Structure 1
Amino acid sequence: MEGQRFTKTAIWLHWIIAIGVLSNIALAWIWPLGDHNDAIAVYVRPMIDVHKSTGVTILGLAVLRLLWRLSHKPPAFPASYRPWEATAAHIVHWGLYFAIFAMPITGWVMDSAWKDAAANPMHFFGTFEWPRLGFIMAMAPDTKEWIHTVFGDAHEWIAKLVYVLFVLHVAGALKHQFQGHAELQRMGVGR
């Protein structure tokens, strides 16, 4: 069994990124409630700032995760997997890799094109100022508005893709776990 587990580094990166993604999804669902609830409204800006900081963190961790993955071969799927199951798992995994890069990048571009970006600096978890993309901030207002809209739409579409991939990823893992493949143990859950 030990040879079939992912490395400890891969496991830690997997779960930290997963927690970050789930946290950002929760924040993105909660802050719109501030439009109708004064008790939440005062927390909207801080929630958006935490969302941005978490996104930037996910991007950094995604780079580490991809480098680790490219330099450390993951354990093979059990031989009992059907070829289509292994192919589907690879598609979902690489789709998730795409998403953990595309979400923070589209968010960063969108945030850099925000009309009020210059007046509202972004601080990484309230500490140092995180740089926006200066070449975007220097563009004409109508161009920035177009970029903000296009990348905002892309950010939302990729979020929908994340929901689908997440459900497929968890469903696939649970399916194989219940078929006796110790799928969760491969990613460090239990023995």
Structure 2
Amino acid sequence: MSPQRLTATELLDSADLLAALLADVVAGGASLGFLAPLTHREAASWWRSLAPAVTEGRLAVWAELDGHRCLGTVSLAFTDKPNGRHRAEVAKLMVHPAARGRGLARTLLTRLEDAALDAGVSLLVLDTETDSPAESLYLAAGWTRAGEIPDYATDPAGTPRPTTLFYKRLGARDPARTPQYRSAARYA
């Protein structure tokens, strides 16, 4: 498996494949910020809406595409706040049910973490539904549980669920290779 970082054009070209994955994952019980039923059209529209952020370097998206479907994806949202350029947020980690158990989620996280380090990011944050399978993945991948917020987001059926916050400090790279606090536009 070799997830690729998508350009804005590649994101637009792959929006239907990404949408199929998103709709399937939401139908399977992971909300990811959406309510069921999530139509393919709504999911594709949402993916297409991200292209400007990818172009501007505010968002990076990785995907494992096998030609006729998206097996997995993850995104990294960079902050443009001057006091927070050292941190970024992991978002929308999804793996197709047929591809689970093969290490794709860990591969996507590793690719994202390497790119974050290359961009001068030293702290990653994320949130996930409490007691979801994702919690185990993040703990096994070295993330630290920061706490839980009750009724933070709803599941796809609209039922409020607790959310667990995680963070991960990234190891330092060779200082000669690691730019310090790049502007958001230079993350592209």
Tell me the TM-score range normalised by the shorter chain: under 0.3
Q: TM-score, normalised by structure 1?
A: 0.26
Q: Name the TM-score, length of structure 2 as normaliser.
A: 0.26
More helix by share: 1
